[in-house]
C-alpha cells in the first residue's frame, strides 16, 4: 500500500487560512461536535419523516464519501484491498469510531461515536438502528473501491449499539439502482481571500497540537468546562454530506419547514460545537482577548474559522433592548456547494448560528467565566427567539459572501443556574 500517514486526526487535511477551508484532495471537510451531528440528523427526520429522513442522511453520506474515496484511490493508485484498509484507518482518524470490514457480509462497527452520542443525549435505546452516516460511509467506500456508481450497493444495519446491541453489524446487497449523484464543479466558485490569513495560520498552528488523537474507541474528545458537556466529542466529515442533506430538505419539504429545520441546524452547531469548545483549551486560545460582551460575540463567531466552515466576520454588534448584529460568512462549504451546482444560494446555517451566538452572549452571558448554566437550557429558547427575530439575508456570489442582519429582543435577567 502506498504510504498514507494517519499519525494525527488532522493528517491528510490541508487548511487554507486565506479562505478558512479545510480540504482533503480538494473536497471541503469540516469538524462538528457529535451532539450537533445527533440533532442535525434528528432535525432532518423530524422535517421529512423517520423513513425519508434516514434515507437522506444515508444517501448524503454515501455520495460524499464515494466522491472522497474515489479521488483518494485515483490519486494514490490504491488497490481494492488498500482502499478498504485506508477507509478503516480514515474512519477512526476522523473520530467516527472503529470500523472493521472483513467481507461483504462481515462489516462491523466495534464502536460508533454517533450511537454513543445518541445514548448520551437521550439516555435510552433507539427502537431502530441509527448509524445512517456510518452505513453511508461504508457504501461510498465500497462503491469507490469497486469502481461502481453510487446506488449500486446498499448497506443495511442489522444490529446497532444505539439499540442496545454490543456492536453494529452491517450487511451489503447489490441493487444496481443508480442514484442521481451531484458532481459539483468547484472551478465555478469564487473563494474570496479574507484579510487576516497570517494570523489565522499562526492560530491554527497553536490549535492543532490541542486536538487529541482518537482513543481506542475512535473518539476524539476535548475537555470542556460546561456543566452538562464535560467533554466535546468531535468528528470530521465532508462538507458535502451536510450540504447535500440540507439541499434535499429544501427540495422536499415546504419552504417554512425547510427554513425552520435548517435554521435550527445552524443554531445547534454553534450552541453545541462553538460554545462547548469555547470553554476548552482550544477556546482559551481563541477567546483569550475577549474582555466584554462584544469581544466574546466576535470571537465566538470566529471559532468557525478554524473548523473548516469558511470565515466569519462580525461587521457590527450592539445591545439596544436586545441584540442587533451584522455578520458575514465567506466561502461557507454549503454555499460553495450550491454555487458549484448552479443552485439558488442562501443558507439558513448563518441565521441559526447568529441566533445562538446572540443568546449565548446577551441572554446567557457566557462571556462571564462564572456563568456555567446548562447548554440544554438555551436550546429550549430557540422557538421563542425564532419567532421574535427580525432578519434580512443576502448572498453576494462575487465574494462568496452571505450576510445576515439580525435584530433580536433578549431578556435581561440572568438564567437559572440549573434546569
Task: Tell me the fold of 197-211+254-408.
Answer: Muramoyl-pentapeptide Carboxypeptidase; domain 2 (3.30.1380)
Q: What is d(CA 332, CA 215) in angstroms, rounded to the nearest whole number? A: 30
Cell of 159: 444490529
Which option is the CATH number for 24-174: 2.40.50.140, 3.30.1380.20, 3.40.50.150, 3.40.50.880? 3.30.1380.20
Q: What is the pLDDT of residues 281-298, one digit of tens each?
A: 998 999 888 888 889 899
Neighbours of 386 (CB within 10 A): 18
Paired with 405 in beta bridges are 326, 392
Q: Place 105 in a pLDDT band, splitting at 50, 70 and 90.
A: confident
Measuring CA to CA, which residue among 347, 305, 323, 302 is closest to residue 407? 323
Neighbours of 318 (CB within 10 A): 13
Q: What angle do CA 16, 18, 24 make, to 5 degrees?
A: 20
The dihedrals phi and psi of 148, each to the nearest 5 degrees, come to -120, 160
Residue 419 has pLDDT above 70, yes or no: no
Residue 259 has pLDDT above 50, yes or no: yes
CB 411 within 8 A of CB 363: yes
Q: What is the pLDDT of residues 142-170, one digit of tens each?
A: 999 999 999 999 999 999 999 999 999 99
Q: Which residues of 297-306 are buried (b: 16+ CB within 10 A; e: fewer)?
A: bbbbbbbbbb
- Per the rule left: phi > 0, alpha: psi between -120 and 50, beta: everything else, 400 is left
Residue 362 has pLDDT above 60, yes or no: yes
Which stretches of 177-300 are assigned E, i.e. beta strand?
220-223, 231-238
Amino acid at each position: 500500500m502506498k504510504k498514507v500517514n494517519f499519525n494525527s486526526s488532522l493528517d491528510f487535511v490541508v487548511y487554507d487560512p486565506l479562505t478558512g477551508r479545510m480540504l482533503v484532495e480538494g473536497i471541503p471537510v469540516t469538524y462538528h461536535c457529535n451532539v450537533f451531528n445527533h440533532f442535525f440528523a434528528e432535525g432532518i427526520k423530524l422535517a421529512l419523516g423517520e423513513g425519508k429522513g434516514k434515507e437522506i442522511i444515508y444517501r448524503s453520506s454515501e455520495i460524499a464519501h464515494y466522491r472522497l474515496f474515489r479521488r483518494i484511490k485515483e490519486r494514490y493508485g490504491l488497490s481494492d484491498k488498500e482502499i478498504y484498509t485506508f477507509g478503516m484507518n480514515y474512519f477512526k482518524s476522523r473520530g467516527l469510531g472503529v470500523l472493521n470490514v472483513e467481507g461483504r457480509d462481515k462489516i462491523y462497527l466495534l464502536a460508533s461515536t454517533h450511537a454513543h452520542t445518541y445514548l448520551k443525549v437521550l439516555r435510552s435505546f433507539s427502537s431502530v438502528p441509527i448509524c445512517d452516516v456510518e452505513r453511508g460511509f461504508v457504501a461510498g467506500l465500497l462503491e469507490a473501491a469497486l469502481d461502481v456508481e453510487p446506488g449500486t450497493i446498499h448497506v443495511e444495519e442489522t444490529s446497532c449499539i444505539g439499540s442496545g446491541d454490543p456492536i453494529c453489524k452491517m450487511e451489503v446487497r447489490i441493487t444496481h439502482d443508480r442514484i442521481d449523484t451531484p458532481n459539483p464543479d468547484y472551478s465555478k466558485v469564487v473563494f474570496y481571500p479574507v484579510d487576516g490569513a497570517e494570523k489565522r495560520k499562526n492560530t491554527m498552528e497553536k490549535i492543532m497540537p490541542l486536538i487529541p488523537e482518537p482513543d481506542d474507541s475512535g473518539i476524539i474528545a476535548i475537555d470542556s468546562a460546561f456543566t452538562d458537556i464535560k467533554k466535546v466529542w468531535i468528528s470530521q466529515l465532508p462538507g458535502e454530506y451536510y450540504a447535500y442533506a440540507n439541499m434535499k430538505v429544501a427540495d422536499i419539504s415546504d419552504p417554512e419547514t425547510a427554513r425552520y429545520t435548517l435554521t435550527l441546524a445552524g443554531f445547534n452547531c454553534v450552541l453545541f460545537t462553538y460554545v462547548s469548545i469555547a470553554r476548552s483549551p482550544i477556546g482559551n486560545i481563541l477567546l483569550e482577548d475577549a474582555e466584554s460582551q462584544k469581544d466574546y460575540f466576535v470571537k465566538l463567531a470566529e471559532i468557525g474559522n478554524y473548523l473548516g466552515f469558511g470565515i466569519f466576520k462580525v461587521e457590527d454588534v450592539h445591545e439596544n433592548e436586545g441584540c442587533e448584529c451584522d455578520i458575514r460568512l465567506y466561502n461557507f462549504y454549503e454555499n460553495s456547494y450550491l454555487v458549484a451546482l448552479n443552485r439558488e444560494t442562501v443558507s439558513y446555517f448563518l441565521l441559526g448560528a447568529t441566533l445562538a451566538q446572540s443568546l449565548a452572549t446577551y441572554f446567557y452571558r457566557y462571556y462571564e467565566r462564572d456563568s456555567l448554566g446548562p447548554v440544554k437550557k438555551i436550546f429550549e429558547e430557540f422557538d421563542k427567539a425564532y419567532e421574535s427575530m427580525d432578519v434580512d439575508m443576502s448572498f453576494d456570489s462575487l465574494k462568496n459572501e452571505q450576510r445576515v442582519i439580525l435584530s433580536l429582543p433578549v431578556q435581561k435577567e440572568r438564567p437559572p443556574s440549573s434546569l
